[in-house]
Amino acid sequence: MAIVEAKALIKNYVAGDITVQAIRGVDFVIEPGSFVSFVGPSGSGKSTLLNMIGCLDPPSSGFLAVAGQDVATLHGKEAAHFRGEHIGFIFQDFNLIPVLTVFENIEYPLLMVQNWPAGKRKARVLEMLAAVGMQDQGDKYPGQISGGQKQRVAVARALVANPKLVLADEPTANLDRETAMRIIALMKQMRDEFGTTFVFSTHDPKVVKNAETVFFLEDGMLQKEGNRKGESHE
């Protein structure tokens, strides 16, 4: 079963009398465990698509299923629960909570969203800290670590609750080349280790190059789909 399936997906934004068509009837399927990138110029609809997959923004019409759930009807509390259960997020600006330590930031989804018991929670966070190579940095606050380390923490936070899907919006945009490559490698390693599906929106050729499936978007429409073997489909 596909982890994400979209059919005739449309997203319109209405501002007064003006309706902007951000996504114009796209169809795609993302298989579990894949490393997928949505690529396109600014305003092409990448972030909108990611927001819809992440249940942050409902589609205007069409069908969108994530982890077998029709997410078009999820709102507010149900959408929050669904996100907490099935989806991890990695943000361009890392978006760590500044008052929490690295350990606590990673722990947050287990504590505030999923209510894991303390012992199990600690073991899982330590596992994730080790997985992203931050085992010695758990007591530090986000203000005390580098950008690359922050993104590692963000990766760990996104994966800590064993989500089926991780959505990453421009995850390397604020990182230098070397750090960006390390983060991409880390995410791939995490995918291999935990079998999680990673979906990016990006401009970054480094990410695009590493993606196994690439969806090209332009003006809200899917132009073509490519895979790591270089095949592409119009």
Tokens of 36: 């997928």
Positive/negative CA dihedral, 51, 53, 56, 61:
positive
Burial class (CB in 10 A: 0-12, 13-18, 19+), 63: middle
88 interacts with another protein by CB under 8 A? yes
- Cβ pair 71, 55 in contact under 8 A: yes
Binding residues for another protein, rule CB under 8 A, total 30
Site string for another protein, 129-168 (x = CB under 8 A): ----------------------------xx----------
Contacts of 169 (CB under 8 A, 6+ apart): 47, 50, 89, 90, 91, 92, 200, 201
- Closest to another protein by CB, 86 vs 226, is 86
- Closest to another protein by CB, 40 vs 54, is 54
Site string for another protein, 95-134 (x = CB under 8 A): x-xxxx-------xx-xxxx--------------------
- Cβ pair 215, 35 in contact under 8 A: no
Interface with another protein (CB under 8 A), residue from 76, 117, 119, 205: 76
Q: Which positions touch another protein (CB under 8 A)?
A: 51, 54, 56-57, 76-77, 80-85, 87-89, 91, 93, 95, 97-100, 108-109, 111-114, 157-158
